[in-house]
Amino acid sequence: MALVQAGDADAFEVVYDRHCNAAFSLAYRMCGRRASAQDVLQDAFLVLWRSSAQYDRGRGSVRNWILRIVHNRAVDALRRGQVRDRHAFHEEGAVERVAGAEDTEEQTLGQEQAREVRGALAGLPAEQRRVIELAYFGGFTHTEIASMLQMPVGTVKGRMRLGLAKLRLMLASEEGVSP
């Protein structure tokens, strides 16, 4: 990242290649349309390039930083109404998967981690999982979720907190790490 911060386009290309699939996958999951997801992907990586000086290694990995940018841009697009019906976000599944035959070791590890996270999410109480998914993947605010689910905002926030805490515990136990 130091080279990217110095304006090295070749170094940026390496970062792009390493993280573009994860970034596109998240954008697609949120936007539900290939064209919108591609717009978000492009926009996010240009933000990354133009604000790379703001990256602070002490605050997390490059991957997490990129995915946070993608998430923010996708939420912006959702709230501007540039993408599909937000209420349908959880109904759609991805149709274009990374080809299994071309799996690298890194992808295999990624798939294993994906299974763990999906398993942990599935293990959450439904009401906690739902508020987390509506917020993170649907881009709905806590106020909107409270209105949709007809419950107090405080309850929504409490479920988010409990759900995330539980998710973290489950993932930590999968990794054999004490939380």
Say whether residue 121 binds other proteins (CB under 8 A).
Answer: yes
One DSSP character per residue, 67-93 reads: HHHHHHHHHHHHHTT-SS-GGGTTT--
The site map against other proteins for 82-101 (x = CB under 8 A) is -----------xx-xxxx--
What residues from 132 to 151 belong to the interface with other proteins (CB under 8 A)? 132, 135-137, 139, 141-142
Of 67, 77, 83, 146, which lies in the binding site for other proteins, with binding defined by CB under 8 A? 67
| Minimum separation from the CB atom of position 68 to other proteins (A) | 8
Measure Cα distances from 12 to 27, 50, 70, 81, 117 in Å: 20, 11, 16, 30, 29
The gap from C-alpha 94 to its chain's centroid, in whole angstroms, comes to 14
Among candidate residues 167, 93, 99, 101, the one with its CA nearest the CA of residue 137: 93
Other CB atoms within 10 Å distance of the CB of residue 44: 25
Say whether residue 75 binds other proteins (CB under 8 A).
Answer: yes
Say whether residue 55 binds other proteins (CB under 8 A).
Answer: no
Among candidate residues 21, 30, 2, the one with its CA nearest the CA of residue 106: 21
CA distance 140 to 147: 10
Say whether residue 164 binds other proteins (CB under 8 A).
Answer: yes
Specify the residue, 87 or 154, whose C-beta has the smaller distance to other proteins: 154
Report the interface residues with other proteins, using CB under 8 A: 7-9, 12-13, 16-17, 20-26, 28-29, 34, 38, 41-42, 45-46, 49-50, 60, 64, 67-68, 70-72, 75, 93-94, 96-99, 107, 110-111, 113-114, 116-118, 120-121, 132, 135-137, 139, 141-142, 154, 156-158, 160-161, 164-165, 167-168, 171-172, 179
